[in-house]
Amino acid sequence: MSDIRELYQEVILHHSKSPRNFGSLDDANRHAEGHNPLCGDQLTLGLIVEDGTVREVRFQGEGCAISTASASVMTDLVRGKSEQEVRALSDAFLELITGDAEPDLDALGKLAVFAGAREFPVRVKCATLAWRTLEAALQNDGQAVTTE
Amino acid sequence: MKTETRTSSSFDVEKIRLDFPALHQEVHGKPLVYLDNAATSQKPRAVIDAITHFYERDCANVHRGVHTLSMRATESYEGAREKLKRFLNASSRKEIVFLRGTTEALNLVAQSWARPRLKPGDEIVLSRLEHHSNIVPWQILCEQTGAVLKVVPLNEHGEFELEAYRELLGERTRLVSVAHVSNALGSILPLEQIVADAHRVGAKVAVDGAQAVPHGPVDVQALDVDFYCISSHKMYGPTGIGCLYAKQELLEAMPPYQGGGDMIASVRFEGTTYNELPYKFEAGTPNIAGVIGFGAAVDYLASIDFAAAIEHENSLLEHATDLVGSLPGVRILGTAEHKVSVLSWVMQSAHPHDVGTILDQEGIAVRTGHHCAQPVMERFGVPATVRASFGIYNTHGELEALARGLEQVRKVFS
């Protein structure tokens, strides 16, 4: 059970049950869709970006606890940040989940709760789906991203 | 594939378990509970030994060489064809074509039988419960020929709607291609009626039998199917091998699927003469070890009391349905009157993927996801399910472990 609690920390369970920033964003000027074909997770992200800053962000979709919580925490964190700051955060998160190096948990702040996913390789895609989708939305190339 | 659930006293599951080395291990410190048999089954020692024996003693190419090893390899390879012929009750060994599996067999039927024959507007009838491997080859074929797909709906139990099927059949129907058993829900389709109705309008019938053959005897002549496709690895044999059964007159009229060695009688630049059946469809050096292992799996099933094993599976299904179905917040998908030992469900408290991860920590292997059957998921309005599928070696004790694992899920997500 200890490993399972590492993965399903209270913060993650809380965000998965009551996700923040969940819904559509009518006047969004950046969009992207993400899919995880392996498990059928699907995520739509809408952002309002003005003067290089993320003013508003919302997500919709269907996914497991890890992917839902990841999207919820992410949307909370990136609001008000510059695109540059968002990219740095995204890089740090992906490094936390997929990298070999010991993560700098202090720099990651709230995101550190996802460190448990490192021990569950098949769940890495769940944790990263929202962030990959965010990258696509900021590039705004209109292409759906998939974790495959 | 009968649905009676009485447990036979002649069936000793503990004895069966001794035949399967992979079952005797721990996962995350817990005894492995392997409930993912519809994805692939574990392999008995006899199958593993047959493959090892081939590589250690008889390894040579088949249908060539006059030397002893090649003769031994050919004998084992063709011996397996004879076993498959008997297993499916084909009328001739020429009707058994070894291929990579059910997927390749369905693709062969699409490209070699259907493609030269179908005209724009011709119709292919599928059902909503098909695995993607019995959908996508036909979509590709429709793009190539202008044929169109018609889809038979499912009722709320996940059963094939026979009446709707009959209405879809017509003078443009050229082929009906359906699963014998649904991989996602376990429903058994009424093949006898499906075949009789299709033949009445002059259509041929192809069957994805991958999920049926592990759960009961199949007689292709009694069913009167035109094509029947199976995979070895779902019936306790090795991966990467399967076969296509097709009526001889159909195979004879079909062009080869692939060109290469072994499928020819003579090759000249002026023209090539194809080999006789079934070799016309077996281009290149085949998966010899796989075929031999496949044959050993057929022998294994013949060596046990298969009827008693299926009764045992059915009793497991009934028990599991009670255990899982009685948990709060559980919705079972696929409640067909006739089904094999496959149980699919969703839980209110947790997404299937999370259920799968927590069960894995308890040593329990289940499948989570859309099971390569997204139209089925859509029918029931879910993106994914948890699926436990039972084989001849599973025990009632393992079902209790599953129930405890699901209790754990509820605790984590409470």
B386 at interface of A, judged by CB pairs closer than 8 A? no
- Residue B309 reports pLDDT greater than 60: yes
Is residue B8 scored above 60 in pLDDT?
no
The 8-class DSSP code of residue A146 comes to: E
Q: Is residue A130 part of a domain?
A: yes
Is the pLDDT confidence value at A104 over 80? no
How do residues A5-35 score in pLDDT, each as one tens digit? Answer: 888 989 999 999 999 999 999 999 999 999 9
- The length of chain B, given as a count of residues: 414
Query: Rounded distance, CA B395 to CA B359, Å?
Result: 17
Q: What SS3 state is found at B109?
A: helix
More confident residue, A101 or B90: B90
- What's the pLDDT at A147? 66
What are the percentages of helix, strand and coil residues in chain A, rounded to 5?
A: 55, 20, 25
A103 CA: distance to closest CA in chain B (Å):
23
**To the nearest whole angstrom, how far is the Cα of A96 from the nearest Cα of chain B?**
20
Give the nearest partner residue to B369 out of A4, A38, A123, using CB atoms. A38
B6 Cα to chain A: minimum distance (Å): 36
ipTM surpassing 0.90, yes or no?
A: no
CB contact under 8 Å between B354 and A41, yes or no, is: no
| Region B274-298 average pLDDT | 96
Interface of A with B in 88-147 (CB under 8 A): 120, 122-123, 126
Tell me, yes or no, whether A114 lies in a domain.
Answer: yes
CB atoms near residue A148 (< 10 Å): 8
Q: How confident is the model at residue A144 (pLDDT cuts 50, 70, 90)?
A: low
Query: What is the percent of chain B with per-residue pLDDT over 70, rounded to a whole number?
Result: 98
Q: Where are the domains of chain B?
A: 13-31+305-412, 48-302
- Identify the pLDDT of residue A108: 81
Q: Specify if A143 maps to a domain.
A: no
Band (A121; pLDDT cuts 50, 70, 90): confident
CATH of residue A131's domain is 3.90.1010.10
Q: What is the pLDDT of residues B216-244, one digit of tens each?
A: 999 999 999 999 999 999 999 999 999 99
pLDDT score of B6: 46
The per-residue pLDDT for range B10-31, each reduced to its tens digit, is 799 999 999 999 999 999 999 9
The predicted-structure confidence for A30-68, as pLDDT tens digits, reads as follows: 999 999 877 778 999 999 999 999 999 999 998 999 999
Tell me the CB-side half-sphere exposure of residue B358, using CA atoms within 13 A: 27
Q: Please state the rounded mean pLDDT for residues B301-317.
A: 97
Residue A148 lies in a domain: no
B369 vs A contacts (CB less than 8 Å): 38-40
The average pLDDT across A121-125 equals: 88
Smallest Cβ–Cβ distance between A4 and the set B361, B374, B377 belongs to B361
pLDDT (tens digit per residue) in B152-204: 999 999 999 999 999 999 999 999 999 999 999 999 999 999 999 999 999 99
Lowest mean pLDDT among A96-105, B117-126, B245-254: A96-105
> Residue range A99-113: average pLDDT?
81
CB contact under 8 A, B368 and A39: yes
Q: Which residue has the higher pLDDT, B82 or B263?
A: B82
A10 touches chain B (CB under 8 A): no
Ramachandran assignment for B129, one of left (phi > 0), alpha (psi -120 to 50 degrees), beta (any other): alpha
Closest CA to B234 of B217, B209, B214: B214
- Per-residue pLDDT, A142: 53
Number of domains in chain A: 1
Nearest CA in chain B to A42: B383
Name the residue among B350, B370, B413 with its Cβ closest to that of A40. B370
**Best of A13, A14, A44, A64 to mutate (most B CBs within 10 Å, chain B):** A64
Q: B237: which 2 tokens?
A: 């044999």
Mean pLDDT of chain B: 95
Q: Give the one of B357, B368, B384 whose C-beta lies nearest to A7's C-beta.
A: B357
CATH of domain B48-302: 3.40.640.10
Structure tokens, A52: 């290089």
Residue with tokens 């070699």: B112
pLDDT score of B350 more than 50 = yes
Question: What's the gap in Å between the CA of A40 and the closest CA on chain B?
Answer: 6
CATH class of B13-31+305-412: alpha beta
Measured in angstroms, the CA of A129 and the nearest CA of chain B are apart by 14
Which among A1, A5, A120 has CB closest to B357? A120
pLDDT above 50 for A1? no
Closest CA in chain A for residue B414 = A13
Mean pLDDT of all residues in B93-97: 98
Q: Catalytic residue at B243?
A: no
Q: What percent of chain A has pLDDT over 70?
A: 93
Beta strands in chain A (DSSP E): 30-36, 41-50, 53-62, 145-146
Structure tokens at B327: 């948990």
Model confidence band, residue B298 (pLDDT cutoffs 50, 70, 90): very high
* Cross-sheet strand order for the sheet of B342-347: B330-333, B342-347, B385-389, B367-369
Residue A141 is predicted with a pLDDT of 54
Average pLDDT of every residue of chain A: 88
> What average pLDDT does range B291-303 have in this prediction?
98
Which domain range does residue A97 map to? 2-138
B353 — contact with chain A (CB < 8 Å)? yes
List the catalytic residue out of B59, B229, B243, B372: B372
